[in-house]
Structure 1
Amino acid sequence: MSIRGPEALASLEEAMRDIRREEDEISRRLARTAEKIGKIKESEAELFRQLAQLRLDPAIQGELDGRISTAETKARAMLKSHARDVETAEQTIKDVDVARAALVEQRKAANERFEDLQGQLKALNDRQVAALADDAAFQAKRSEAEELDRVAEQSMRKTEQAETDREEKGRPYRDDPLFMYLWEAGYGTSNYRANNLIRYFDGMVASLVGFQKARPNFAMLNEIPMRLREHAERQEANAQAAEAELEALQLAAVDAAGGKPIRAALAAAQAEIEKIDAQIVECEDKRDTAAKTLQDLAEGRDPAFENAASTLAEALGREDIQTLLAQARLTRTGQDDTIVAQIDEARARIREEDEESREQRERLKTLAARRRELEDIQWEFKKQRFDDPRSSFREDKLVGDLLNDFLRGGITAATYWDHWRKSQNWAQGSEWGAGYKPTRQQRDNSPWPQGGGSTFQWPDSSFGSGPSGGKNKPKGGGFGGGWGGGSSGSSSGGGGFSRPRTGSSGTRKHSGFKTGGGF
C-alpha cells in the first residue's frame, strides 16, 4: 500500500510532536526533581539543627546553627529564582510551539493551493495537447522530433554494441602481457622512443607475438566506439533540441490559452512554501535554544543554583556535622534515633532522585539528538518536494515499522532517509500529442520519465537519481521552467543532510542511539 507525499510529511510531523512532547515532560520532571532535592536538603538541614539542640552546648550549637541557616537561606532564595527561570523557559517553548504549529498550517494551506493550481494547469495543458493534434506546424515538428529520436536511439545502440565488442573482442589482446607492453610503448608508431638495443629486443618480441598484424585490429576496436559515441552524442543533442522546440510550441499554446497567470501563481505559491519552510527552521532553532536552556535548568547547571546547592551541601558535610551524626548513631536515645532515621531517609531519597535523574538526562540527550535528525529528514523531504501531491511512496512501513526503528535507534537517520528516497515515485504527466514519446526513455540513462515526455517540470532531486537509476527524473523544462521545482541548494549523498543550523544545537550525529523504547 502506497502513501502520498502530503500524508507522509504529516506522519513525520506527528512523530516530531511526540518527541517534543516527551522532551518537555522529561525536562519538567527534571526541573521538579532539582527543586525537590533542594527542599529535601533544607529538611535535612533542619534535622541537623534539631540534633544539635539535643547534643551540643549552646555556644557550639549557635555557631553551627548560624552556618546552616545562612546556607539554607541562600538555597531557599535560589530555589525560588530557579523556579521562575524554569517557568520562563517552559513558556518560551510553548510560545515557539504555537508559532511553529501556525506555520505548519500555513504551509499546508499553501501546498493545497499549489495542488489546485497544478490541477488547473494540467487540465489546460491536456486541452491544448488535444488541440495541437490538429496543428500542422506542431505535427511537422513532432514528426521531425520522432525521426531524430529514432536516429539517436539507433546511434546509441550501435555505440553500445561497438563498446561491447571492444570489451569482449579486445580481451585476448589485453590479456597478452607482451602485446600490451608493445602497445603501451607505442611500438610501430611515431610515439615509440627507445635506444637501439631496446628496439632490437622489442622487434624480436613483436615478431614473436605477431604484433604488426594484431595492432591495427586492436586499434580499430578502440577507435570505432569512440567515433560512434561522438556521433551518437551529436544525434542526442539534435533530438533534444527538437524536443525543446516541441516544448516551446506547447508552452506558447498553453500561455495563449491563459496558462501564464497560472504558472506565475504556481511560482508564487512555491516561493511562499519555501519562505514558510525557512520560518519553520527559524522556529525550530529557537525552540532548540530554549530547550537547551530548560535542560540546563532542569539538570541544575545554572551557576547560581549550583553555587547555592554546593554551599548547603558543604555546610552539611563539614567534619563537625558528620561527627555530630556519628556520635548520635553510637548513643541510643529515642529522640536521637528518630532524627538520625529521618536524616538517613532524606539522604536515601536524594540518592534515588539522583539515580532517576541520571537516567532521565540520558534519555533527554537521546531525544534531542533524534529530534534534530528528524528535523534534518523533514528539511530534505520538503526540499526535494517529496510532499508534493504528485509524489508517493511504495512502502507504507516508512511511517510504521521503519519510523519506529529509526526512533528507537535501530537504524540511522541516513539509512531511514535512504529508504524514503528509494521508495519515492512521481505521478506521470500527460504525453505529447497523439502518443509521441521518445524511444530513448526506455534507456537507463534517459532524461525522460517513464510513460512519456512530461509536460510538467518535476521537482528536482539534488540527492541524485531515484531507485530506477534516473528514469523517474526528467530533465528540466516542462512549461518553460519556473514552477514546481525543488528549492535550490545541494546536499551530499549517502545520508548527508543540508538543513541549515544556527544557535546551540551543535554538531549533529547520525549514528543512531539506543533509546530503549518510549515511542
Structure 2
Amino acid sequence: MSIRGPEALASLDEAMRDIRREEDEISKRLARSAERISKIGETEAELFRQLAQLRLDPAVQAELDGRISQAEVKARDMLKAHARNLSQTEKELAAIDGALARSTELRAAALKELDARQAELKALAGRMGASIAKEPAFAAKRAEARELAEVAAQSMRKTEQAEGDREQKGKPYREDPLFTYLWERGYGTSGYRVNTLIRYLDSLVAGLVRFEKARPNFAMLNEIPLRLREHAERQIGNAQQAEAELDALETQAIDAAGGKPIREALEAIHARIEAIDHEIVLAEDRRDDTAGALAGLSEGKDPAFADALAALAAGLGREDIQTLLAEARRTRTGQDDTIVAQIDDARTRIKDEDSETREQKDRLKTLAARRRDLEDIQWEFKKQRFDDPRSTFREERLVGDLLNDFLRGGISAATYWGQWQKSQNWSAGTTDWGGGIGLPNNGRGRPDRGGGFTWPDSSISGSKPRGGGFGGGGWNRPSGGPSPGGGFSRPRTGSQGTRKSGGGFTTGGGF
C-alpha cells in the first residue's frame, strides 16, 4: 500500500512534535532537579548550623552561622532571578511551538486546496487534451523536446561512464606516490621549472615509473570527462529551452480553454506554501536557539544560578566547617550521629541527582541533534515537493520501522532521506505539463513550473511527471538532496549555524 505525499509529511510532522514534546519534558525535569539540588544545599547548611550549636562555643557559632547565612541569602536571591528567567524562556518556547503548529495547519489546508485545484485541471485536460495534442505546432515542439531530452540523456550517460572510468582506471596512478609527485610538480610540461640537480633527479624517477608513457594516459582520463560534461550541459540547456517553449504553448492552450483561473490559483497556492515554509524555517531556528537557552537554564548553566550554588558550596566547604564535621564523626553522641547521618544523606542525594542529570543532559543533546536532522529532511521533502498530492511512496516502512530506526540513531539522516528518494514516484494519471519528456525542473526533480501544473496521462503527453530526470538522478546533478559530502541544503538562520551529525547517536526513552 502506497503513501501519499501529504500523509507522509504529516507523519514526519508528528515525529517532530514528539521530539519537541520530549525535549520540553526533559528540560522541565532538569529544572526541577536543579531546584532540588539547591534546596538540598540549603538543608545541608541548616544541618551544619545545628551541628555548630552542639559543638561550638557561642562566639564561634555566631561567626560560622553568619557566614553560612550570608551565602544562603546570596544564593536565594540569585535563584529567584534564575527562576524568573527560566519561566520567561519556557513561555517564549511555548509561543514558538504554537506558531509552528498554526503554520503546519495552514500548510496542510493549502495542500488540500492544491489537491482540489489539481483535480479541476485534470478534468479540464480530459476535455481539451486530445485536441491540443493533434495541433501541428504542439506536436512538432513536443517531438523536438523529446528528441533533445534523449540526446541530453545519452550525453549524460556517456559522461557518467567516463567519470566512472576516471575513478576506476585512474586509481593506480593516484596511488603511486612517485607518479603523483611528478604529476603535481608538472613534470614534462611547460610549467615545470626547477634547477638542474632536481631536474636530473626527477628524470631518474620518471624513468623508474615510465612517466613519459603514463602521463598522457592519465591526462586523457581526466580530460575526457570534463569535455563530455561540458557537452552534456549544453545539451541539457538545449532540451530545457525546448521544454520552456513547449510549456508556453501549453499555457496558451490552457488559458484559451478557460483554465487560466485554475493555473493562477495553483501558482498562488504554491506561493502561499513557499511563504509558510519560509516562516516555518525562521520559527524553527528561533525555537532551536530558545530551546538551547532553556536547556542551559535547566541544566544550571545560567551564570547567576551557577554562582549561587558555587557560593553556597564554598560556604559549606570551608576548612573550619569540614573540621567541625570530621570532629563530629570521631565522637559518638546520639545528636551528633543523627545530624552527621542527615548530612551524609543530603550529599548522597545530591550525587544521585547529578548522576541522573548527566543522563538527561545527554538525552537532551541527542534529541536536539535528531530534531535538526528531521528539520533537514522535512526541508528537502518540501523542496522537492514530495508532499504534493500527486506524490506517492511505495514503502510504508518509511513512516514506521525506518522512521523509528532514524529516531533511535540506527540509521543516519542521509540514509533515511535516501530511502524516501528511492521510494518516491508520481501517481498514475498525471504528467508534468512540460510534456512528460523527462526533464528536471531547476535540477530539483519535481513538478515546478507553472505552479505545479500537470496533465493527465490520457490527455497530452502520455507520460508521468518528470520527477526523476535521467536514470532517476535528476540529470545527475547535486540538487535538493544531500550533497556529496552528506550535508543538506536547509538554510540555518540561528546561532546554531549549519551542522551535521553523522546519525550515530544511540538514544533511548521514547525513541
Q: TM-score range by the shorter chain?
A: 0.7 to 0.9
In the alignment, what sits opposite 1:500? 491
With over 3 angstroms needed to count, the CA separation of the structure-2 counterparts of 1:148 and 1:503, relative to structure 1, is closer
Secondary structure at the counterpart of residue 502 of structure 1: coil
User: Does the 8 Å contact 1:67/1:315 carry over to 2?
Assistant: yes
Letter matched to residue 509 of structure 1: K
In the alignment, what sits opposite 1:131? 131
In the alignment, what sits opposite 2:169? none
In the alignment, what sits opposite 1:356? 356
User: Does the 8 Å contact 2:145/2:239 carry over to 1?
Assistant: yes
- Looking at structure 2, the residues matched to 16 and 154 of structure 1 have their Cα atoms a distance apart, in angstroms, of 43
In the alignment, what sits opposite 1:516? 508
- Looking at structure 2, the residues matched to 82 and 140 of structure 1 have their Cα atoms a distance apart, in angstroms, of 73
Alpha-carbon deviation of 1:335? 0.6
User: Does the 8 Å contact 2:487/2:500 carry over to 1?
Assistant: no
Secondary structure at the counterpart of residue 104 of structure 1: helix
- Looking at structure 2, the residues matched to 154 and 43 of structure 1 have their Cα atoms a distance apart, in angstroms, of 81
In the alignment, what sits opposite 1:469? 471
Query: Is 1:142 matched with 2:134?
Result: no
- Looking at structure 2, the residues matched to 333 and 239 of structure 1 have their Cα atoms a distance apart, in angstroms, of 93
User: Does the 8 Å contact 1:47/1:339 carry over to 2?
Assistant: yes
With over 3 angstroms needed to count, the CA separation of the structure-2 counterparts of 1:300 and 1:469, relative to structure 1, is same
- Looking at structure 1, the residues matched to 240 and 89 of structure 2 have their Cα atoms a distance apart, in angstroms, of 62
User: Does the 8 Å contact 1:393/1:423 carry over to 2?
Assistant: yes
Query: Is 1:15 matched with 2:15?
Result: yes
Deviations 1:455-508 (A, max 9, x none): 899587xxxx47x7138x69xxxxxxxxxxxxx988634642111112232442
Letter matched to residue 514 of structure 1: T
In the alignment, what sits opposite 2:92? 92
Query: Is 1:260 matched with 2:260?
Result: yes
Query: Percent of aligned pairs with the same residue?
Result: 62
User: Quick check: 490-499 or 336-345, which moved more?
Assistant: 490-499
Letter matched to residue 23 of structure 2: E
Work out which of the two has the higher radius of gyration on C-alpha atoms and give 1 or 2: 1
- Looking at structure 2, the residues matched to 281 and 508 of structure 1 have their Cα atoms a distance apart, in angstroms, of 15
User: Does the 8 Å contact 1:129/1:250 carry over to 2?
Assistant: no
- Looking at structure 1, the residues matched to 353 and 64 of structure 2 have their Cα atoms a distance apart, in angstroms, of 28
Q: Taking structure 2 as the reference length, what is the TM-score of the superposition?
A: 0.73
Letter matched to residue 422 of structure 1: K
- Looking at structure 2, the residues matched to 388 and 375 of structure 1 have their Cα atoms a distance apart, in angstroms, of 18
Deviations 1:237-294 (A, max 9, x none): 79995x7766554432221111122211111111110000010111111111111111
Letter matched to residue 17 of structure 2: R
Letter matched to residue 96 of structure 2: V
Alpha-carbon deviation of 1:117? 1.5
Letter matched to residue 370 of structure 2: R
User: Quick check: 397-406 or 141-150, which moved more?
Assistant: 141-150
- Looking at structure 2, the residues matched to 391 and 262 of structure 1 have their Cα atoms a distance apart, in angstroms, of 20
Letter matched to residue 371 of structure 2: R
User: Does the 8 Å contact 2:406/2:412 carry over to 1?
Assistant: yes
- Looking at structure 2, the residues matched to 73 and 42 of structure 1 have their Cα atoms a distance apart, in angstroms, of 10
User: Does the 8 Å contact 1:68/1:316 carry over to 2?
Assistant: yes
Secondary structure at the counterpart of residue 385 of structure 1: coil
Question: Where does 1:272-351 land on structure 2 (aligned, <5 Å)?
Answer: 272-351=272-351
- Looking at structure 2, the residues matched to 365 and 439 of structure 1 have their Cα atoms a distance apart, in angstroms, of 43
- Looking at structure 2, the residues matched to 54 and 141 of structure 1 have their Cα atoms a distance apart, in angstroms, of 103
Deviations 1:75-101 (A, max 9, x none): 122222222221111111111111110
Alpha-carbon deviation of 1:305? 1.1
Alpha-carbon deviation of 1:128? 0.9
In the alignment, what sits opposite 2:414? 414
Letter matched to residue 498 of structure 1: S
With over 3 angstroms needed to count, the CA separation of the structure-2 counterparts of 1:98 and 1:456, relative to structure 1, is farther
With over 3 angstroms needed to count, the CA separation of the structure-2 counterparts of 1:317 and 1:258, relative to structure 1, is same
Letter matched to residue 124 of structure 1: L
With over 3 angstroms needed to count, the CA separation of the structure-2 counterparts of 1:390 and 1:46, relative to structure 1, is same
Letter matched to residue 515 of structure 1: T
Deviations 1:154-179 (A, max 9, x none): 9999xx99xx9xxxxxxxxxxxxxxx
- Looking at structure 1, the residues matched to 421 and 36 of structure 2 have their Cα atoms a distance apart, in angstroms, of 48
- Looking at structure 2, the residues matched to 424 and 55 of structure 1 have their Cα atoms a distance apart, in angstroms, of 78
In the alignment, what sits opposite 1:63? 63
Letter matched to residue 510 of structure 1: S
| Structure 1: gaps (5+ residues) | 165-225, 441-445, 475-487
Deviations 1:34-57 (A, max 9, x none): 111000000000000000000001
User: Does the 8 Å contact 1:447/1:470 carry over to 2?
Assistant: no
- Looking at structure 2, the residues matched to 326 and 34 of structure 1 have their Cα atoms a distance apart, in angstroms, of 28
With over 3 angstroms needed to count, the CA separation of the structure-2 counterparts of 1:456 and 1:89, relative to structure 1, is farther
- Looking at structure 2, the residues matched to 239 and 506 of structure 1 have their Cα atoms a distance apart, in angstroms, of 35
Question: Where does 1:319-468 land on structure 2 (aligned, <5 Å)?
Answer: 319-429=319-429, 454=461, 458=465, 465=468
With over 3 angstroms needed to count, the CA separation of the structure-2 counterparts of 1:342 and 1:255, relative to structure 1, is same
In the alignment, what sits opposite 1:83? 83
- Looking at structure 1, the residues matched to 370 and 427 of structure 2 have their Cα atoms a distance apart, in angstroms, of 32
In the alignment, what sits opposite 2:204? none
With over 3 angstroms needed to count, the CA separation of the structure-2 counterparts of 1:131 and 1:308, relative to structure 1, is same
- Looking at structure 2, the residues matched to 368 and 447 of structure 1 have their Cα atoms a distance apart, in angstroms, of 30
Secondary structure at the counterpart of residue 120 of structure 2: helix
Secondary structure at the counterpart of residue 469 of structure 1: helix
User: Does the 8 Å contact 1:126/1:430 carry over to 2?
Assistant: no
| Structure 2: gaps (5+ residues) | 162-226, 440-444, 448-454
Secondary structure at the counterpart of residue 131 of structure 1: helix
Secondary structure at the counterpart of residue 472 of structure 2: coil
Letter matched to residue 472 of structure 2: G
With over 3 angstroms needed to count, the CA separation of the structure-2 counterparts of 1:332 and 1:247, relative to structure 1, is closer
User: Quick check: 70-79 or 8-17, which moved more?
Assistant: 70-79
Alpha-carbon deviation of 1:312? 0.6
User: Does the 8 Å contact 1:392/1:426 carry over to 2?
Assistant: yes
Question: Where does 1:163-312 land on structure 2 (aligned, <5 Å)?
Answer: 241=242, 248-312=248-312
User: Does the 8 Å contact 2:391/2:424 carry over to 1?
Assistant: yes
With over 3 angstroms needed to count, the CA separation of the structure-2 counterparts of 1:383 and 1:332, relative to structure 1, is same
With over 3 angstroms needed to count, the CA separation of the structure-2 counterparts of 1:454 and 1:334, relative to structure 1, is farther
User: Does the 8 Å contact 1:430/1:454 carry over to 2?
Assistant: no
What number of residue pairs does the alignment pair up?
Answer: 420
In the alignment, what sits opposite 1:112? 112
- Looking at structure 1, the residues matched to 349 and 305 of structure 2 have their Cα atoms a distance apart, in angstroms, of 20
- Looking at structure 1, the residues matched to 152 and 23 of structure 2 have their Cα atoms a distance apart, in angstroms, of 61
Deviations 1:213-239 (A, max 9, x none): xxxxxxxxxxxxx9xxx9xx99x9799
In the alignment, what sits opposite 1:2? 2
With over 3 angstroms needed to count, the CA separation of the structure-2 counterparts of 1:245 and 1:506, relative to structure 1, is closer
